[in-house]
Amino acid sequence: MENSVFPQRLPFHPRPPTEESTVIGNTDTVRCWECFWEFWNYETPKVIVVKNHNLGILYRAMQLLILIYFIWYVFIIQKGYQESETGPESSIITKVKGITHSHDKVWDVEEYVKPPEGGSVFSIITRVEVTHSQTLKTCPESMAVPNATCISDSDCIAGKMDMLGNGERTGRCIPHYSGTVKTCEILAWCPVENGGAISDSLGKMAPQFTILIKNSIHFPRFGFSKGNIKDDKNGYLKRCTFNETSDLYCPIFRLGFIAEQAGENFTELAEKGGVIGVIINWNCNLDLPDSACNPRYSFQRLDPKTIQESSGYNYRFAKYFNCNGTNTRILIKAYGIRIDVIVHGQAGKFSLIPTIINLATALTSVGVGSFLCDWILLTFMNKNKVYSTRKFDQISQCWDGNSVPESSIKNCSTQDFSLGDPNGPIQF
């Protein structure tokens, strides 16, 4: 084996680390430790008095505005010291009284109030268009229906029912009631509405109708309940009407008064109908006596009267009877004033938790002025970095235990340092 042609493997000797690699490794370790210990440093604000009146006026003005906002708006207007509850539990009962007449009949409450249950939404009929003696038979379709006019029978398809029409087409083209135009014949309640309707107004006495609105509210969080009717057993409601000053707890309103308060002309409103909201608002401060919690009424037109296509209010109903063995009905298109009674409310009572939260927020917000002024000082007034040098400082611990600015440290083991008067602010 001494003459083997394979080369002999030399023993491996690891290369000793050089001085350069050792320094790099030590430097990385030192930096990691510096970052670690930097995290545990303590930061504290430093007071610097800047002799600049413009900046000082801005600072005090911002503090004043913030204080005014919290004192006047948050605590006085919004009552930030109270716990509040909105949307009370509410019940509404209504009752209408009054009679009126048209040219051929007298109308009482049972006829002109719909529905009669006395809920929060009801309507009072002020004008009607009546189509008398409708029976099931054939007659011309109304000209107001799209594609109802025709020239020949071929224009009218038998059995077709138009969803905007009044009945089923028979397939015949016949003269309309006026005799000058032809429309398709239909099987329906005839005569159709536009062919024989008679208009009748109930608006003469309607402004004198009285409406009683009974409302009771309850705030479950505070266990507080109240109603809008005066507790009087001497027949108070029989001789009073609503007056915001003298009879606030007499919720009996005249229909004309409601229309007037909503800014409407009653005659025009009765002609086309409309929707008026009666809004009752209970804003109760329960830190005060119960007598300070009173309802406030407002009235507003709810349907958009400026848009002709969607303004007004009307609906249809019919009265059926048998005449000589034939089923007959009277179709009534009623125009009226719909009343929507809407109740809003909010109650508040002193609570320690919202008071502490809003006080803490106010005190914290005062610091916004310091932040803004510091930004102006360091951004626009920091010539030659004079302010930033004094604003940000670091204090290091010397070996002899004295704390001095790092910018002054040259040799902690041999020199003494002093910051001047430690109790006084630094002034510019």
What are the strands, taking DSSP E only, across 181-313? 182-190, 197-201, 210-219, 224-227, 252-254, 274-285, 295-301
The rounded distance, in Å, linking the Cα atoms of 188 and 210 is: 40
Joined together, the tokens standing for residue 9 give: 């493997």
The rounded distance, in Å, linking the Cα atoms of 114 and 132 is: 21
319 labelled as ligand-binding?
no
Contacts of residue 162, defined as CB under 8 A and 6 or more positions apart, other chains included, come to: 145, 146, 147, 148, 169
> Across the strands, what pairs with 188?
137
How many CA within 13 A on the CB side of residue 273? 22
127 labelled as ligand-binding?
no
What residue spans of 288-385 are helical by DSSP H? 352-365, 367-380
210 labelled as ligand-binding?
yes
> Across the strands, what pairs with 320?
329
97 labelled as ligand-binding?
yes
Which of left, alpha, beta for 308 (phi over 0: left; psi -120 to 50: alpha)?
Answer: alpha
333 labelled as ligand-binding?
yes
Give the position of tokens 């320094």: 23
- What sign does the dihedral 397-400-405-411 (CA atoms) show? negative
Known binding site: residues?
A: 95-97, 210, 314-316, 333
Known binding site for ATP: residues?
A: 95-97, 210, 314-316, 333
